[in-house]
Structure 1
C-alpha cells in the first residue's frame, strides 16, 4: 500500500522539522554544558587558592556591587553548595543531551526509511 505524495511530503516535513529543532537544541545544550564545566573549574581553582591562604587571612565575598568581609569557611561552604548545584545541573543537561541526540538520530533514520520506501 503506497502512501500518497502529499501525505509523504507532509510526513517528511514534520520529521525534518523535528530533526532541525533537535539539532538546534543540541547546540544550545552543548554550550550550556561547556559553560557549567567552566564554572565548575573556576570554583575548583578558587577553592585551591583559598586552601593555600593562611587561616586568618581576610576574605571578601562579592554581594551585588559591593564586597563583604567573610571567613574562609563561609566562602568554602558557599562554593561547595554552588559546586553541588552545578553537578546536579550538569547531570540534568547530560540527560537532556542524550534525549536530544536520540531524537535527532531517530528522526534521521525515519526520514531515510520513508525515502527508501517512497522513493
Structure 2
C-alpha cells in the first residue's frame, strides 16, 4: 500500500523540520558547552594563582561596578561552589547534546528510508 504524495510530502516536511531544529539546537548546545568549559578553566586558573599568594594578601571580589575586600578562603569557597555548578550544568548539557544528536540522526535516517522505500 503506497502512501499518497500529499501525505508523503507532509511527512517528509515534518521530519526535515525536526532535523533542522535539532541541528540548530546542536549548535547552541555546543556553544554553551564551550562557554562552560572556559568558565571552569578560568576558575581553575584563578585558584592556582591564589594558591601562590600569601594568606594575608588582600584580595577583592567584583560586585557589580565595585570591588569588595574578601579573604582568600572565602573566594576559594565561592569558586568551589561555582565549579560544582559548572560540572552539573555540563552534565546536563552533555545529556541534551546526546539527545539532540540522536534526534538529528534518527530524523535523517527516517527521511532516507522513506525516500528509498517509495518516494
TM-score by length of 2: 0.99
**2:110 maps to what in 1?**
110
Distance (whole Å) between structure 2 residues aligned to residue 5 and residue 110 of structure 1: 17
**2:2 maps to what in 1?**
2
Shift of 1:37: 0.2
Distance (whole Å) between structure 1 residues aligned to residue 95 and residue 118 of structure 2: 34
**Which contiguous aligned blocks of 4+ residues in structure 1 show a shift greater than 6 angstroms?**
none
Distance (whole Å) between structure 2 residues aligned to residue 52 and residue 81 of structure 1: 21
Distance (whole Å) between structure 2 residues aligned to residue 108 and residue 42 of structure 1: 38
Shift of 1:26: 0.1
SS of the equivalent of 1:69 reads strand
Q: CA RMSD in A?
A: 0.4
> Unaligned stretches of 5+ in structure 1?
none
The C-alpha deviation readout for 1:8-50, integer Å capped at 9, x for no partner, is 0000000000000000000000000000000000000000000
Report the number of matched residues: 119
> Unaligned stretches of 5+ in structure 2?
none
Shift of 1:55: 0.8
TM-score by length of 1: 0.99
Distance (whole Å) between structure 1 residues aligned to residue 109 and residue 48 of structure 2: 48
**1:56 maps to what in 2?**
56
